[in-house]
Amino acid sequence: MLSQLLPIIFFLFFSFFFLLNAKPTTSSPISPSPPPSNNTQFILTSCSSTLYPDLCSSSLLHYADAVSSDPARLARVSIAVSLSRARRTAAYVSGLSRQADYGSDQRASSALHDCFTNFGDAVDAMRGSLKQMRQLGTTGESFRFSMSNVQTWMSAALTDEESCTDGFEDVAEGRVKKEVSEKAEAVKMVTSNALALVNRFVNTVASGTQ
Ligand SMILES: *[C@@H]1O[C@H](CO)[C@@H](O)[C@H](O)[C@H]1NC(C)=O
């Protein structure tokens, strides 16, 4: 019985797909009306308002489906990415400051120690931001309060990361200074982008376009 039905089922199944596929081929690939339904395009457009759009899209594009064109989710994911980079940098700096050969250079070792503290502070600020984003208030007032905290803490995180680089100003040029400055700079760019996406989200809600 089933074996007799199978060819018919297959026929119906494939005709259905054929019909489904037949329609979209009529629309041109260069459609003049792009709806905001494309998750990839949403990330690219949002990233274009950041200071480092290429870095922004390269670090966030693989979350396109999870973000699903939701500016709140995008802000959350970008904070999470920045947090994870800051954590990694803190661990790296901590490893460097434990290395005995830099113990002899007082300035370098004190700058490393301060940098570790700066990155620890940045991590705390971003962890708090992420927690706040996960429990956003639903009323206008509690939402604004939560989001102004997130904006404040993300700016603080950026300042903390800047302090690390500043702390190396008086340290003689060398491998440690170069590597730490480069890593701190890279995290700073990611954090700056996250702050921009947080601001973009706040503006989206404020202007009622969400
Ligand atoms: C989504 O947008 C990207 C970038 O503009 C484009 O390359 C891609 O083809 C689009 N996908 C769909 C399904 O429209």
Retrieve residue 57's tokens. 């899209």
Retrieve residue 203's tokens. 């503006």
CA 40 to ligand 1 centroid distance, Å: 6
For the stretch 173-176, contacts whose Cβ atoms lie closer than 8 Å and that sit 24 or more positions apart, written own/partner, are 174/108, 176/96, 176/102, 176/108, 176/112
| Residue 38 CB–ligand 1 contact under 6 Å | yes
| Residue 142 CB–ligand 1 contact under 6 Å | no
Backbone φ and ψ for 108, nearest 5 degrees, come out as -65, -40
Higher pLDDT, 136 or 68: 68
| Residue 40 CB–ligand 1 contact under 6 Å | yes
- The two most distant CA atoms of the chain are separated, in Å, by 86
Q: What is the rounded CA–CA span in Å between residue 50 and residue 56?
A: 7
CA 38 to ligand 1 centroid distance, Å: 6
CB atoms < 10 A from the CB of 156, how many? 17
Q: How much of the chain, in percent, has pLDDT values that exceed 70?
A: 79
CA 39 to ligand 1 centroid distance, Å: 8
CB atoms < 10 A from the CB of 173, how many? 8
pLDDT digits (tens, 9 = 90+) for 113-132: 999 999 999 999 999 999 99
Q: What is the rounded CA–CA span in Å between residue 59 and residue 191?
A: 12
Atom of ligand 1 lying closest to residue 39 CA: 1
CB atoms < 10 A from the CB of 137, how many? 13
Helix, strand, or coil (residue 208): coil
For ligand 1, atom 14, which residue shows the shortest CA distance?
38
Report the pLDDT value the prediction gives residue 138, as an integer from 0 to 100.
Answer: 75
pLDDT digits (tens, 9 = 90+) for 30-63: 444 444 579 999 999 999 999 999 999 999 999 9
Q: What is the pTM of this model?
A: 0.80
CA 36 to ligand 1 centroid distance, Å: 11
pLDDT digits (tens, 9 = 90+) for 67-80: 999 999 999 999 99
Confidence of residue 14 (pLDDT cuts 50, 70, 90): very low
Atom of ligand 1 lying closest to residue 38 CA: 1
Query: Under CATH, domain 39-206 is a member of which superfamily?
Result: Invertase/pectin methylesterase inhibitor family protein (1.20.140.40)
| Residue 41 CB–ligand 1 contact under 6 Å | yes
Q: Which residue among 28, 33, 38, 67 is best mutated to probe the pocket of ligand 1, counting the most ligand atoms within 8 A of its Cβ?
A: 38
Helix (H) / strand (E) containing 2: helix 2-22
Q: What is the rounded CA–CA span in Å between residue 45 and residue 57?
A: 9
CB atoms < 10 A from the CB of 115, how many? 29
